Structure 1
Amino acid sequence: MAWGGIIAGALCIPLAIGMLLVTSWFMRVAEQANCEVLYLGNEEAIAECVAENA
C-alpha cells in the first residue's frame, strides 16, 4: 500500500502541473477569442485588448 501511495503521488504531481498549464493556455486562447468578438475587424483594438488582458 505504501508503494502504491508513493507511485500515485509521483504520478499526480506532474499531472497537476500539466493541468495547470493546459488551463492557463485555454484561458489565454479564450481571452483572445473574446477580444476578437468584441472588436470584430479592428486589428489595433484587438491587439490592445489582448495586451491589456495579458
Structure 2
Amino acid sequence: VGEEAVELVIEAKDNNDDLFLGESADLLFHYLMLLQAKGFELRDVISVLKTRHKN
C-alpha cells in the first residue's frame, strides 16, 4: 500500500491523467485487499467518515 501511495503522489505531480488514474486504481485495489485482510469492509470506513461529518 505504501509503495502504491508514493507512486500515486508522484503521478499527481505530472500531467498524465491516464497514469494518475492507473495509480489511483492500484492504490484503491491494494487498500481494499488490506481492509479485507484485516477483517473490514469499505462500508466500515464509510461509517467512520459519516460519524466524523454529522454536522
Using the size of structure 2 for normalisation, the TM-score is: 0.48
Q: Which has the larger share of helix?
A: 1
